[in-house]
Amino acid sequence: MSLDGRPLVVVANRLPVSKSGDAWRPSAGGLVTALRPVVEQVDGHWVGWDGGDPNVPKRVDGFAADLHPVAMTAEEVDDHYYGFSNRTLWPLFHDLLAEPVFDREWWRTYERMNIRFADAAAAVEVDDPVYWVHDYHLLLAPALLRDRKPDATIGFFLHIPFPPPELMGRLPWNDELLDGLLGADAIGFHTEWYRENFVRSVRRSRRDVTVSGDMVHLPDGRSVRTAAHPISIDVDEFSALAVADETEQELAELREQFANRKVMLGVDRLDYTKGIRHRLQAIERLLTDRPELRTSFAFIQIAVPSRDDVEEYRDLREQVEYMVGHIHGRFTEPGHDVPVHYLYRSVPKTRLAAYYRLADVMAITPLKDGMNLVAKEFVTVQDAARDRPDQDAGVLLLSEFTGAALEFVDDAVMCNPFDVQSLAARMAQSLTFDADDRRSRIARMAASVREGDVFAWVNEELESVTMAERARAEVGP
């Protein structure tokens, strides 16, 4: 691993732990899983919001990093997290799927919170660390950290898309955010498209930089490396989960419940970027055009509650629930189960794996999505269970507007979710592939995920940061 034993200071919006009952545990998120082995090997530190709990311990069993909590008042969380991060940057970076709100008070708080995170990171007492800053909540932090530690090695990774300059340029604070990012030595994106969008934005707003290949050269002599590093999953974890006893038990129950029905599955945070409304419209169309499916098909939507303090998310929930009710009213046949199963909750991981195994079609139809890890989890679980009795391979129906599309374009059924009529046709088509074809498509996609798992992603990212640093050392001050 490219850190060579140097300390690692991760700076992310949230700490990697949460409290259940009286006990603190590592959180279940992908980033936490990905970084666990790295922080175990080095002197690991994590700077993040304390979630409103002033008593976060310095260490938590199962995650070998020192925790450095950042406190925010409820009002600061409202302005920084719900406001500027999720009502300004989130819709803007997802191609204006909702109208971004430009509020100067939110911006001032965003700046102040980025300063607070940068101060907390700079205060971590370690010798010659690598700082790794994450995501859209902290776009200013790399430059702020550079002000405090001019010689520091700083990497940044963006987990969501980077918008084209024509959209980014609408933001009153476009220049400040670009300068914030350019404080890093290396900036990682999921795809080449997002990387190019960033570089085009920099070119448009900074006349004093030159770009050669993937490097941005600044007038002060510093260079910033940009790279596309698609994030991935812990393949071994999901492969084991696929065939765990508990998963098998859950699957047996689900198979009984959905006997004699083809199952299409959706798994998303309830977010307007995920295309759930378009998906339901397409289901309605499918059930209109193909009446026999009303009793031989089920669509299961797991919608994980998300950001429900934000108006657009509450509206989305209402609309989705109205649409599900509407479909039930129109298509439920007396004596038969309803055609749409809507679960507004998060389910345990073994249950999630059982749903992945049950699905004949996995419908991943976001209007825009940085990567989409559900796609990678689905093909991995399906492939790991290929030799289990009754495990018939499923089909991945995938939006062309996800980062994952680049990897799966040859073997998924690709769709444009904005075109509801063609989406319904793609859904119907997904139900027609023969078993051998399905199996080999899943196998190829799973092999590709295995080749670039989340640990490879961590290595690539850290390698990119340390490469940028070596180049700086060769050029000299």
Least distance (Å) from ligand GDG to the CB of residue 379? 13
> Whose Cβ is closer to ligand GDG: residue 347's or residue 431's?
347
> Whose Cβ is closer to ligand GDG: residue 72's or residue 354's?
354
Least distance (Å) from ligand GDG to the CB of residue 123? 27
- Report how far apart, in Å, the C-alpha atoms of 410 and of each of 226, 363, 431 are: 27, 16, 17
Among 215, 304, 414, 471, binds ligand GDG (CB under 6 A): 304
Among 265, 352, 367, 397, binds ligand GDG (CB under 6 A): 352
Distance of alpha carbon 354 from alpha carbon 249, whole angstroms? 8
- Tokens of residue 184, six digits: 């890093």
Residue type at position 193 = W
Q: Of the residues 369, 383, 411, 453, which is catalytic?
A: 369
Distance of alpha carbon 89 from alpha carbon 79, whole angstroms? 12
Q: Of the residues 50, 66, 95, 159, which is catalytic?
A: 159
Instruction: Using CB atoms within 10 Å of the CB of residue 438, give its burial: 0 to 12 exposed, 13 to 18 middle, 19+ buried.
Output: buried
Q: Map the footprint of ligand GDG across residues 264-303, applying CB under 6 A.
A: 267, 269, 302
Kindly tell me the sign of the dihedral angle through the C-alpha atoms of 123, 126, 128, 130: negative
x-marked contacts with ligand GDG along 145-164 as a string, rule CB under 6 A: --------------xx----
Quick check: 27 binds ligand GDG (CB under 6 A)?
no
Least distance (Å) from ligand GDG to the CB of residue 384? 15
Residue 51 phi/psi, 5-degree rounding, is 70, 15
Least distance (Å) from ligand GDG to the CB of residue 211? 25
| DSSP-assigned letter for residue 310 | S
SS3 of 412-472: the string is CEEECCCCHHHHHHHHHHHCCCCHHHHHHHHHHHHHHHHHCCHHHHHHHHHHHHHHHHHHH
- Among this protein's residues, is 336 annotated catalytic? no
- Tokens of residue 127, six digits: 């010798």
x-marked contacts with ligand GDG along 357-376 as a string, rule CB under 6 A: ------------xxxxxx--
Q: Map the footprint of ligand GDG across residues 310-349, applying CB under 6 A.
A: 346-347, 349
> Whose Cβ is closer to ligand GDG: residue 176's or residue 196's?
196
Q: Map the footprint of ligand GDG across residues 212-231, applying CB under 6 A.
A: 231
Distance of alpha carbon 422 from alpha carbon 425, whole angstroms? 5
> Whose Cβ is closer to ligand GDG: residue 377's or residue 461's?
377
- Among this protein's residues, is 134 annotated catalytic? no
Listing DSSP states for 234-284 in one string gives: -HHHHHHHHT-HHHHHHHHHHHHHTTT-EEEEEEEES-GGG-HHHHHHHHH
Least distance (Å) from ligand GDG to the CB of residue 142? 18
> Helices 454-475 and 30-41 sit at what angle, rounded to 10 degrees?
60
> Whose Cβ is closer to ligand GDG: residue 393's or residue 454's?
454
Binding site for ligand GDG (CB under 6 A): 28, 30, 159-160, 231, 267, 269, 302, 304, 346-347, 349, 352, 369-374, 377
Please list the active-site residues: 159, 369
